[in-house]
């Protein structure tokens, strides 16, 4: 079993911690959804103890930054109404910036909203693409010219860091983390379960087959098996063998519970995976076809169009998350 990713949630005077709390909830939900502790979160500060956050809210840092080995650290935003306010906070954060500058380079640094300014001031974004809140787009390149600023983007994820704009910037960072370390399917279920922003509507062909919405143990097991197999290996015999059933029993039970033939139901689950990657990622159709094990890109396009009446490109344009 893999060791949990140790994620620090940084508390510092004046920070806005709502995103940290929501971020921790998302990772906890991912643990619950998979039944495995994939993520462990820790509230940390310059030192352990109470920290007065924005608007007088006091939260407890369980550890000092130097006391807890971390795989990643999330820096929230802080209250600021101008570039001068940002500069004042940076000036008062000398000790924190020194710790961040010396912090273990193996630890990924994630930041959002004006919290990106702390990451930039520590030097940890030098030479890396990054984004930040739009109203700082002119000031930041002058203040930190070594950073490759791309302020037109709302989120940028690199191997060593992640940055996002806006007070809800924790959300695309969390979604990218869950998709990378768990799966797009788990992210999809969490978006639905936790009522997170998503496409205005999903295609009718996929609405009834969400894994988290299946009450039947057989359908849940079938769903997981189909998702794990390459598309070209989806035969009734292969599925029956994987579930420990005869082909006849599997066909009868799936028909009874869904009103659909096994092969048709399995193909819809696989194409649902295609739909999720089209709406939640920017992966090319050829990359999606190869990842999900279709015999050819043209075969994927044909089956997807037959089921949804959309080409993959049209579907992405219609239902894309971002």
Over residues 266-270, mean pLDDT: 93
123 in the Ramachandran plot: left (φ > 0), alpha (ψ -120 to 50) or beta? left
Does 23 score more than 80 pLDDT? yes
- What's the CA gap between 233 and 293, in Å, rounded? 8
Residue 303 has pLDDT above 80, yes or no: yes
Q: Using CA atoms, how far apart are residues 236 and 233, in angstroms rounded to an integer?
A: 9
Q: According to the model, what pLDDT value does residue 122 have?
A: 96
> In the prediction, which pLDDT does 322 show?
52
State the average pLDDT over residues 135-151.
91
Architecture of domain 200-319: Orthogonal Bundle (1.10)
Q: Is the pLDDT of residue 212 over 70?
A: no
164 beta partners: 112, 155
Same fold yes or no, 5-181 and 200-319? no
pLDDT of res. 200: 44
Average pLDDT, the chain: 90
Task: Provide the residue ranges of all domains of the chain, joining segments of one domain with +.
Answer: 5-181, 200-319
Write out pLDDT tens, residues 63-102.
Answer: 999 888 999 999 999 988 888 889 999 999 999 999 999 9
Q: How is the beta sheet containing 39-45 ordered, strand by strand?
A: 63-64, 39-45, 5-10, 72-75, 108-112, 161-164, 155-157
- What the block records as the tokens of 44 is 């940390």
Cα–Cα dist 148/74, whole Å = 20
Q: Please, which pLDDT band fits residue 205 given cuts at 50, 70 and 90? A: confident
In the predicted structure, residue 312 carries a pLDDT above the cut 50 = yes
Q: Determine the topology of domain 5-181 in CATH.
A: Rossmann fold (3.40.50)
Q: What is the pLDDT of residue 82?
A: 84
Residue 307 CB coordination number (10 Å): 18
Average pLDDT over every residue of 172-184: 89
Torsion of CA 288, 291, 292, 297, to 10 degrees: 50
**What predicted TM-score, i.e. pTM, was given to this entire model?**
0.63
Of the ranges 21-35, 114-128, 176-190, 302-316, which one carries the lowest mean pLDDT score?
Answer: 176-190
C-alpha 200/C-alpha 76 separation (Å) is 28
């Amino acid at each position: 079993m893999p060791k949990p990713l140790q994620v620090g949630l940084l508390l510092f005077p004046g920070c806005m911690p709502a995103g940290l709390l929501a971020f921790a909830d998302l990772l906890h939900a991912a643990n619950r959804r998979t039944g495995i502790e994939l993520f462990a979160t820790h509230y940390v500060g310059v030192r352990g103890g109470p920290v007065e956050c924005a608007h007088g809210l006091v939260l407890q840092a369980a550890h000092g930054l130097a006391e807890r080995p971390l795989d990643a650290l999330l820096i929230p935003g802080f209250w600021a109404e101008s570039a001068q306010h940002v500069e004042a906070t940076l000036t008062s954060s000398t000790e924190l910036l020194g710790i961040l500058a010396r912090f273990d380079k193996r630890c990924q640094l994630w930041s959002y909203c004006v919290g990106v300014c702390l990451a930039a001031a520590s030097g940890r974004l030098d030479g890396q693409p990054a984004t930040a809140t739009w109203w700082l787009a002119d000031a930041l390149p002058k203040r930190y010219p070594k950073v490759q600023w791309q302020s037109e983007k709302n989120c940028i994820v690199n191997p060593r860091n992640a940055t996002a704009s806006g007070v809800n910037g924790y959300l695309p960072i969390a979604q990218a983390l869950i998709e990378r370390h768990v799966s797009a399917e788990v992210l999809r279920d969490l978006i639905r379960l936790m009522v997170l922003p998503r496409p205005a509507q999903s295609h009718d062909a996929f609405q009834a087959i969400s894994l988290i919405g299946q009450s039947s143990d057989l359908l849940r097991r079938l769903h997981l098996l189909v998702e794990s197999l390459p598309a070209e290996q989806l035969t009734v015999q292969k599925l029956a063998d994987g579930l420990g059933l005869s082909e006849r029993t599997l066909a009868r039970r799936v028909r009874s519970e869904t009103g659909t033939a096994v092969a048709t139901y399995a193909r819809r689950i696989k194409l649902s995976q295609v739909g999720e990657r089209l709406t939640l990622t920017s992966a090319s159709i050829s990359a999606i076809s190869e990842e999900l094990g279709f015999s050819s890109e043209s075969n994927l396009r044909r089956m997807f169009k037959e089921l949804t009446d959309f080409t993959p490109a049209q579907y992405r344009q219609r239902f894309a998350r971002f």
